[in-house]
A = this chain, B = another copy of it.
Amino acid sequence: MRLAFFGDIVGKTGRRAVEDHLPDLRERLALDFVVINAENAAAGFGITERICNQLFDLGADVITLGNHAWDQREALSYIEREPRLLRPANYPVGSTPGAGANLYDLPDGRRILVINAMGNLFMETLDDPFAAVERELAAAPMGVVADAVLLDFHGEATSEKMAMGVFCDGRASLVVGTHTHVPTSDTRILPGGTAYQTDAGMCGDYDSVIGMDKEEPLRRFTTRMRSGRFEPATGEATLCGVFVETDDATGLAVRCEPVRIGGQLSKYIPD
């Protein structure tokens, strides 16, 4: 299976990057399935039905979220109607709308399990992400029920993310981090066959502070006071993500490369 994952869409410029590059890329890389984290798609904060539909139209098969999942309150009801939208699986069971994982059918009958989970280190804590991921992996084991497994692990600490990679190694096709809004260059296949990258990076304008216009964040760091709101930067975004090719017999990765197109960062498109 040929998969691509793209990190946190930040604002209009991030959506524009998807519009400008995804349709092409989907064809060029012969992608079977595309997952996008869009927790910051709505002006930096959360997601709306309109934006999800735009992203689905542009070639996203599944959309994942993170700590900004509920910034737009309509997401609370919309997610109940839209199985292609996932929120972290380690939100409390019972009280949280939507799902944290789902098994999706490809047109050709193959099936992919997509999981979204959130780290606990240096973040508002949810339930144990390792237990939640274990539960989801067990519900649709790769090579038995799922032909491929993709985990978007939304977290701050590199230690927790690398530990999650190790935890899933051999049981998932791809473990990729989100949330820091900076792509890492540690793209590789772990010893057990799981592709891994600590962070996918954002689809946003890197001439910024994690996607936001530079003025206000800098003022907060230097004065310790809030002077205004965070607004997404508006320069050209870089589409940032990961491309993975799996072995359909096992679900394990046979190839994993980064994707970076447009904007401030150095260009990288897998051949």
Which A residues fall within an 8 A CB radius of B? 70, 76, 91-92, 95-96, 120, 122, 124-128, 130-131, 156-160, 162-164, 166-167, 180-188, 190-191, 198-199, 201, 206-210, 214, 217-218, 221-226, 258, 260, 264-266, 268
Contact = CB atoms under 8 A, between A and B. Distances in A.
Nearest to A129: B221
B184 A185 contact: yes
A181 B161 CA distance: 12
A71 to B, nearest CB: 9
Contacts of A199: 182, 184
A188 B167 contact: no
Given A167-B222, A186-B264, 6 more contacts: A127-B127, A158-B180, A159-B210, A185-B265, A185-B268, A188-B264
11 contacts: A95-B225, A122-B157, A125-B125, A126-B224, A127-B127, A162-B217, A163-B209, A166-B218, A183-B185, A183-B186, A188-B266
A91 B217 CA distance: 17
Copies of this chain, how many?
4
Contacts of A221: 130, 160, 163-164, 167
A17 B180 CA distance: 28
